[in-house]
Amino acid sequence: MNKEINNMTYREATKELEEILRAIENDSVDVDELTLKVQRSSQLIKLCKEKLRSAELAIDQVFNEENCEQPQKSAKPEAQSNGKLF
């Protein structure tokens, strides 16, 4: 798979990374091709990290929206005054 990196999904990128890893592990990549495979792997890893960060931000945003926020539970006043939890 040699799809344009900007149009790849996370799943496609990880699948290609797995294919590259298998090829390297099986010694089916010659030295001349190895450099290209390593460079492609680097691009794919960067893409995956960006997609994960983007997903994390989107998920955080959903949970931080006003209608999804949970009120923070406060400790009982007596627990705070005497230093005991129970």
Q: Per-residue confidence at 37, pLDDT binned at 50, 70, 90?
A: very high
Q: pTM score, two decimals? A: 0.67
CA–CA gap between residue 57 and residue 50 (Å, rounded)? 11
Please give the pLDDT value at position 27. 85
Instruction: State the Cα angle at 20 between 19 and 22, rounded to 5°.
Output: 65
Cα→Cα distances 51→7, 11, 45, 68, Å? 12, 10, 10, 24
| Structure letter (DSSP) for residue 13 | H
Q: Per-residue confidence at 82, pLDDT binned at 50, 70, 90?
A: low
53 or 84, greater pLDDT: 53
CA–CA gap between residue 19 and residue 46 (Å, rounded)? 17
